[in-house]
């Protein structure tokens, strides 16, 4: 349980197959089991941009499973609020994989949901997930402008409906992520660290980390991801909360990290240095959705590079908690009662830049 396996290199398909053959996660399982593969297709952006799971990794998993007689496989995902899963499947190369291996692509945005209660919190979760016997989570080791990182635990946010994604933000994000993981257990994690964006979940600044990491414990995986991305485990609140709920155990000095290629250089020697983002102090966020907040941060970073943020004197409000309230400067439809606001749900990065420059 408390082990991580790493393949380093630049050939995602081969690395994935090598990892799976090494850990043999389906040993002894009935070949009829229903298997769901959950990538991270947060938006319709090719994997090279650092936001989405490399399709070659998914292909590697499918080759491994089918060559071992496991054919009852589907790919499941629900992109973030404001983007289309179907567009993401197409742009990210998943439609080709689906055709080549006859594997269905399920858009969880079209799914019904089931309400589950955990410690008094009701969570709506897509129905498809409850029909699976084996869930393979294939997140990225990636930055996130609200929770700092996203990896195995937060990737499960793609299995809830859009309305619930918005509601997660009103509940503070961290606790519902931990509780969701207490309800839905993932059976295997293959984390894509080929060229993730260490700062933004929607990509655009890919960094070559040249690794894929496999394991069974999402808390351990996220703890490892935090370390690689330049944070301490305790900086990421939902990791500790998930550990408290018995979802897994964090990285410790005696955690075994196995590099499956003998001749590879040390696999755990990378740490990203996070940039200081002073412009974040200009934002007053209250229950903002990921896409909305991320687009604003992205726009501000670009405005900051050209020295424009110095011209913005007011605090910028964003988030669902501002609905119906008056204010001065806002971003998103939730701030429609403000004196000046950028419409959209969520508004795009380019539109936000245009709004501020105008």
Residues that bind ligand SF4 (CB under 6 A): 81, 166, 288-289, 291-292, 319-320, 332-334, 345-346
Residue 299 CB, nearest approach to ligand SF4 (Å): 13
Nearer to ligand SF4, 192 or 287 (CB): 287
Minimum distance between the CB of residue 347 and ligand SF4, rounded to whole angstroms? 8
As measured in angstroms, the least distance from the Cβ of 78 to ligand SF4 is 15
Give the number of other CB atoms < 10 A from CB of residue 275. 11
Q: Where are the beta strands (DSSP E) in the chain?
A: 3-8, 35-39, 73-77, 105-107, 113-118, 121-126, 134-138, 142-144, 148-150, 188-193, 211-215, 256-259, 283-285, 316-318, 329-331, 340-342
Whose Cβ is closer to ligand SF4: residue 20's or residue 331's?
A: 331
d(CA 146, CA 261) in angstroms, rounded, equals 35
Q: Which is nearer to ligand SF4, 57 or 292 (CB)?
A: 292
Give whichever of 36 and 319 is closer to ligand SF4, judged by the CB atom. 319
For the bound state, the minimum distance from the C-beta of residue 84 to ligand SF4, rounded and expressed in Å, comes to 15
Residue 21: name the closest of 169, 138, 190 by CA.
Answer: 190
Q: How far is the CB of 298 from ligand SF4 (least distance, A)?
A: 14
Query: For residue 93, what are the β-bridge partners?
Result: none
- Identify the three-state secondary structure at position 165: helix
Closer CB to ligand SF4, 108 or 292, in the complex: 292
Sign of the torsion angle spanned by Cα atoms 133, 134, 138, 144? positive
Where do the DSSP E strands lie in 63-216?
Answer: 73-77, 105-107, 113-118, 121-126, 134-138, 142-144, 148-150, 188-193, 211-215
Q: How far is the CB of 332 from ligand SF4 (least distance, A)?
A: 3
Nearer to ligand SF4, 95 or 333 (CB): 333
């Amino acid at each position: 349980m408390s082990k991580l396996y790493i393949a380093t290199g630049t050939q995602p398909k081969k690395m994935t197959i090598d990892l799976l053959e090494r850990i043999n996660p389906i040993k002894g399982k009935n070949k009829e089991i229903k298997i769901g593969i959950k990538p991270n297709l947060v938006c319709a952006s090719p994997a090279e941009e650092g936001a989405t799971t490399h399709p070659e990794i998914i292909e590697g998993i499918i080759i491994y499973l089918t060559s071992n007689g496991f054919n009852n496989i589907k790919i499941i995902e629900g992109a973030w609020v404001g983007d289309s899963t179907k567009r993401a499947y197409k742009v990210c190369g998943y439609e080709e994989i689906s055709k080549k291996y006859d594997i269905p692509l399920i858009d969880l945005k079209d799914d019904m949901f089931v309400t589950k209660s955990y410690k008094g919190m009701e969570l709506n979760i897509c129905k498809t997930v409850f029909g699976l016997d084996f869930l393979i989570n294939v997140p990225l080791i990636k930055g996130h402008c609200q929770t700092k990182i996203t990896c195995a635990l937060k990737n499960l946010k793609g299995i809830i409906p859009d309305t619930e994604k918005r509601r997660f933000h009103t509940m503070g994000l961290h606790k519902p992520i931990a509780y969701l993981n207490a309800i839905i257990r993932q059976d295997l994690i293959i984390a894509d660290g080929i060229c993730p964006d260490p700062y933004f979940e929607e990509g655009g600044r890919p960094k070559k980390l040249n690794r894929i990491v496999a394991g069974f414990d999402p808390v351990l995986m996220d703890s490892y991801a935090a370390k690689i991305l330049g944070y301490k485990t305790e900086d990421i609140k939902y990791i500790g909360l998930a550990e408290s709920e018995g979802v897994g155990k964090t990285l410790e000095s005696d955690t075994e990290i196995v590099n499956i290629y003998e001749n590879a250089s040390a696999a755990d020697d990378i740490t990203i240095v996070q940039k200081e983002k002073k412009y974040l102090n200009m934002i007053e966020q209250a229950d903002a959705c990921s896409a909305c907040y991320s687009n604003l941060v992205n726009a501000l970073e670009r405005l900051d590079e050209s020295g424009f943020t110095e011209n913005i004197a007011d605090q910028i409000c964003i988030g669902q908690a501002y609905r119906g309230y008056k204010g001065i400067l806002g971003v998103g439809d939730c701030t429609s009662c403000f004196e000046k606001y950028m419409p959209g749900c969520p508004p795009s990065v380019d539109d936000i830049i245009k709004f501020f420059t105008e």
